[in-house]
């Protein structure tokens, strides 16, 4: 039996008082007096309900200072920026471009022999056709191994045009496209990246290398520049700074997307229809219990990614629910397309999202071999949480369904000890030893941070 979880103390939460609504007849009298002016005006097509108009709209969009309506071309532009920056997924972020900025600043340093310095710069900016073509080839080879919208957009650009993009970078004096989202966007370094991103995107679209875009939008340099600022110094900067402060936070945030949550909610609803206990249904609502997947942008098929550490009998139960959910949907008469089949014959490699450990999950969700390899502090999170499912032998007996509706105490008494007999929970000695190691690591990090740059505020180590 696992040790009991220590009781948690929580602060009392103040209940917000609901504002009283209009009294009976007030709304009708107001409409009668105000006529059409009191009615809610319909919003224009493409605008958000309740969004301010005119000058108010320009102040409401904090991430787009000039309040442009972002057109459909913005998606291709964002994919292009991610592609040339080497950010091939939503969880990849930009780091500090220390080496790149040092190399860039070397071009403008004071020198006694200006002729020799200019000669070196001119030699470096000569047409690097072979180098650019090699960079384009390496990029496309890497993209062909991926299946996501970013790779699909970038592969629509021919190798010759991508070589032209890399040639422009080299002529401008940068070896890698790496904007500085931690510094001022008005810096010469960032303004050069802005110009290169806009001009090279216009270059690949003007030659029909990237079809399906509206040239009346792409040709507007100022608009494209604002789209660059909005994406790079809005989305990418926010994610990169957040990841620096708290490593892994961007991946954790991605798991909360609507599609990922919907799978957890759908399985919980299926469990309810099949008569499973509320205790189990609550556990299943955590999105991190479920496997990640990836849609092939060409075939539109959904391929499941492997979920490391999940016990086999939990996986089999989820698959059983997915199969029965189709029949439940047909008999319920729900409209709309049914959930698309997720292909599992050849699971893809785990993504960063696949490695996120769920919180407040029954310990038997993890395979014992995986759970016992976790750190003492990670295993301590699950101390005191009872088992969620009976042992695998009970699930294999399809005629034994009594456990599904058992009360928590009865379930724990009958199956709890057997379900967790192979899971090793940390002792007090292990936890104390783990805390000592964390303190040593903290001291080492502070010492290294002081040597590197004592003026930079380092993120606090996790405890």
pLDDT digits (tens, 9 = 90+) for 66-76: 433 445 557 88
CA distance 213 to 412: 60
CA distance 95 to 98: 9
What DSSP state is assigned to residue 210? S
CA distance 335 to 353: 31
pLDDT category at 257 given cuts 50, 70, 90 is low
Q: Compute the average pLDDT of residues 234-247.
A: 88
pTM of the model: 0.46
pLDDT category at 421 given cuts 50, 70, 90 is very high
Contact 395, 316 (CB under 8 A): yes
Structure tokens at 185: 């966007």
Owner of token pair 């991190």: 288
Residues 143/144/145/151 CA torsion (nearest 10 deg): 40
Q: In this model, does residue 344 exceed pLDDT 90?
A: no
Q: What percent of the chain has pLDDT over 90?
A: 29
CA distance 371 to 177: 41
- State the pLDDT at residue 456: 35
Distance of CA 424 to the CA centre of its chain: 32
Neighbour order of strands in the sheet with 293-295 = 293-295, 302-305, 342-348
Q: Compute the average pLDDT of residues 37-41.
A: 41
pLDDT category at 107 given cuts 50, 70, 90 is confident
Q: In this model, does residue 381 exceed pLDDT 80?
A: yes
CA distance 154 to 146: 11
Q: In this model, does residue 174 exceed pLDDT 80?
A: yes
Q: Compute the average pLDDT of residues 332-342.
A: 63
Contact 248, 231 (CB under 8 A): no
Structure tokens at 264: 């957890």
Structure tokens at 70: 């972002």
C-alpha separations of 362 from 70, 178, 404 in Å: 45, 43, 15
How long is the chain? 463
pLDDT category at 14 given cuts 50, 70, 90 is very low
CA distance 88 to 80: 10
What is the Cα gyration radius of the chain?
28
CA distance 191 to 128: 23
Of these ranges, 66-70, 142-146, 212-216, 459-463, the one predicted with the greatest mean pLDDT is 142-146
Structure tokens at 455: 């003026």
Mean confidence (pLDDT) of the chain = 75
- State the pLDDT at residue 258: 56
């Amino acid at each position: 039996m696992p040790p009991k979880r220590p009781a948690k103390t929580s602060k009392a939460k103040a209940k917000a008082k609901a504002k009283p609504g209009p009294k009976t007849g007030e709304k009708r009298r107001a409409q009668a007096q105000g006529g059409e002016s009191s009615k809610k005006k319909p919003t224009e097509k493409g605008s958000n309900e309740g969004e301010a108009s005119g000058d108010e709209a320009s102040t409401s969009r904090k991430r787009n200072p000039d309040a442009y309506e972002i057109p459909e071309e913005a998606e291709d532009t964002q994919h292009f920026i991610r592609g040339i920056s080497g950010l091939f997924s939503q969880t990849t972020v930009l780091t500090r471009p220390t080496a790149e900025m040092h190399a860039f600043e070397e071009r403008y340093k004071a020198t006694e022999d200006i002729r020799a310095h200019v000669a070196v710069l001119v030699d470096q900016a000569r047409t690097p056709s072979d180098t650019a073509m090699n960079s384009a080839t390496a990029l496309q080879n890497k993209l062909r191994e991926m299946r996501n919208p970013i790779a699909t957009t970038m592969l629509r650009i021919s190798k010759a045009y991508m070589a032209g993009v890399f040639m422009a970078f080299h002529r401008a004096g940068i070896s890698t496209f790496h904007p500085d989202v931690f510094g001022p966007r008005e810096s010469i370094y960032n303004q050069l990246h802005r110009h290169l991103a806009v001009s090279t995107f216009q270059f690949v679209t003007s030659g029909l290398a990237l079809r399906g875009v509206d040239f009346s939008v792409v040709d507007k340099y100022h608009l494209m520049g604002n789209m660059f600022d909005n994406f790079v110094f809005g989305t990418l900067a926010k994610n990169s700074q957040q990841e620096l402060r708290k490593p892994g936070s961007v991946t954790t945030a991605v798991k909360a997307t609507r599609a990922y949550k919907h799978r957890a909610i759908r399985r919980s609803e299926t469990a309810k229809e099949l008569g499973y206990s509320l205790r189990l249904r609550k556990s299943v609502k955590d999105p991190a219990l479920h496997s990640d997947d990836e849609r092939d942008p060409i075939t539109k098929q959904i391929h499941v990614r492997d979920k490391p550490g999940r016990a086999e009998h939990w996986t089999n139960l989820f698959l059983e629910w997915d199969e029965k959910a189709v029949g439940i949907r047909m008999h319920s008469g729900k409209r709309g397309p049914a959930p698309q089949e997720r292909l599992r014959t050849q699971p893809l490699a785990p993504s960063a999202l696949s490695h996120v450990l769920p919180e407040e999950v029954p310990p038997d969700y993890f395979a014992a071999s995986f759970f016992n390899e976790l750190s003492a502090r990670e295993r301590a999170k699950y101390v005191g949480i009872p088992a969620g499912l009976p042992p695998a032998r009970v699930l294999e007996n399809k005629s034994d369904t009594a456990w599904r509706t058992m009360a928590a105490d009865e379930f724990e008494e009958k199956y709890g000890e057997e379900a967790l007999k192979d899971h090793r929970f940390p002792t007090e000695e292990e936890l104390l030893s783990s805390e000592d190691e964390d303190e040593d690591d903290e001291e080492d990090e502070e010492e290294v941070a002081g040597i590197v740059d004592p003026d930079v505020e380092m993120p606090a180590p996790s405890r």
